[in-house]
Amino acid sequence: MEGVSPFRTLLDKTDERIGDGIEHVLRTHHVRRLRQLGWGDVLTTGTEDRFGGRGPVREGNELKVLVDGEEALPTIQEAIRNARSHVHIANWHASPDFRLTREPDAPTLRDLLAVTAQRGVDVRLLLWAGPPMPAFQPTRGLVKAQQKKFTENTGVRCVLDARERTMHCHHEKLVIVDDEVAFVGGLDFTALEGDRHDSSEHPPNRPIGWHDLMTRLRGPVVADVAGHFAHRWSEVAGEDLPEPPQQAKAGDTRVQFLRTVPDKTYGFAPKGEFTILDAYLRALRSARRLVYLENQFLWSPEIAELLIDKLCDPPDDRFRMVLLLPRKPSNGADTTRGQLGRLLDADDGKNRLVATTVSTHDGDESAPVYVHAKLGIVDDEWMTIGSANLNEHSLFNDTEVNVATDDRALIRATRQRLWSEHLRTPAAELDGDPTDIVDGLWRPIAEEQAALDRRGEPRTHRLTLLPGVSRRAGRLQGPLRGLLVDG
């Protein structure tokens, strides 16, 4: 590498070799752990059926993708306001003073839930209790104080779940209304760390731009989401909830309900559940032409190895991989960059991989958008959206919920809508072969903007290459982090 000192090169090589060794230990540990739990086939099963595995698949659903908070949050608020029987919410964190819209007279979340409860609707709120040590937000003291605000003189029941594995959390984001409609995705009801209300325009007058996704579900799959909440609530709150009724057909979309439930955490799944990992691995193994991932983190060795295999031995000459990640993940920037360096090595200049990020707006005052979405699309034939990041936390040790579908029309429309947002191009102009769009728009735009950054000139587009990705630099940190926190 031109301009790099021999000492720096030696450090990078040492970092790479130690990282490879630790990652081998970590992957071996995961294999051993899943085999002992009866989930070993997740890491070895082929690609015969993307909807195979153990996640239940339901026919006859309606799945609507809600892009960014400005669309998702008012939709959720309207569903809560129309509740007749009950509202059940599970979140990583929720703030009583959070408002689901920017309208001047919008109620706080506390008041919205209180008014709903006062109408005779049962409102149950299940939140992570926070880390045992006050190392990061939300602390247990903060969560307990906010639990009191949610429940005092409101009729709302709020229970804190402290059954997390060491150094992990309850990360899922669910809303279920009357067991008739459910919301699954990445949005938390809090302003901690960023502006959840952001729009797809990502205007510059926001504290931190925030790109996220939710799904609204109707039909038989809602019973799976509701049943999952009921199981967690029963064990934490000591209150048994009735079995959710099976809903009638609401559409023509097949939906698969996916979870991460760590072992030795709940009586309803003593050996855990790892269907999110199963679904991702099945889908990525099957990829022929396109892998498109939006995620907060990308440092799972199992996922990275599959992506590397695809780049080293592409199933088709027109195979392309597009990644949209945040510029600075909250606690995993270096770990993500290490895996991306490996992917660049695997691509080896063949231009099959484009690793990008986005900013709030174009022009002189460009600032990052935090990519918090958790989306996977393969060949416009499989799509998953939910709360799970592509790291050990989400795939092995946190509680997470995703949904997946094989509705090709919905998947293609979702991809085109997202690409329209990121490329600043009308969706109607993105109707061609995805490979042509990657080669003709994604890569040229991102490379042009990265070149402007390097020259210190103002950017003219929100999309750019992900900065700070050197070939295998920072290799050690991801595996080391995974080894330290995974058990």
Q: What is the DSSP string of 335-393?
A: HHHHHHHHHHHHHTTSS-EEEEEEBSSSBTT--BEEE---EEEETTTEEEEES--BSHI
Per-residue model confidence (pLDDT) at position 175: 98
Per-residue model confidence (pLDDT) at position 294: 98
Alpha carbons 176 and 187: distance in angstroms, whole number:
14
> Taking 60 as the threshold, does the pLDDT of residue 484 lie above it?
no
Q: Indicate the domain borders of the chain.
A: 6-55+257-485, 61-250
Strands 86-91 and 157-161: unpaired
Q: Are 96 and 143 in contact (CB under 8 A)?
A: no
| CA proximity to 298, closest of 247, 353, 339, 347 | 339
Q: Band of the pLDDT at 331, cuts 50, 70, 90?
A: low
> Which stretch of 9-13, 194-198, 367-371, 475-479 has the lowest confidence by average pLDDT?
475-479
Q: What is the pTM of this model?
A: 0.93
Q: How many other C-beta atoms lie within 10 A of the C-beta of residue 7?
A: 8
What sign has the CA pseudo-torsion 299, 301, 303, 306? positive
Helix (H, G, I), strand (E, B) or coil at 288: coil
Per-residue pLDDT, averaged over 58-64, amounts to 98
Per-residue pLDDT, averaged over 428-456, amounts to 95
Alpha carbons 377 and 290: distance in angstroms, whole number:
8
Whether a cis peptide bond, with omega within 30° of 0, leads into 138 is yes
What average pLDDT is seen over the chain? 90
Per-residue pLDDT, averaged over 236-254, amounts to 97
> Taking 70 as the threshold, does the pLDDT of residue 363 lie above it?
no
DSSP for 438-469 reads: IIIIIHHHHHHHHHHHHTTPPBSSSEEEPTT-
Q: Are 236 and 161 in contact (CB under 8 A)?
A: yes
Q: Which fold has domain 6-55+257-485?
A: Endonuclease; Chain A (3.30.870)
Any idea which residue has 């979140």 for tokens? 91
Left if phi > 0, otherwise alpha if psi is -120 to 50, otherwise beta: which for 127?
beta
Q: Which fold has domain 61-250?
A: Endonuclease; Chain A (3.30.870)
In this chain, the answer to whether the domains covering 6-55+257-485 and 61-250 adopt an identical fold is yes
Per-residue model confidence (pLDDT) at position 299: 86
* Cross-strand pairs, 375: 294, 385
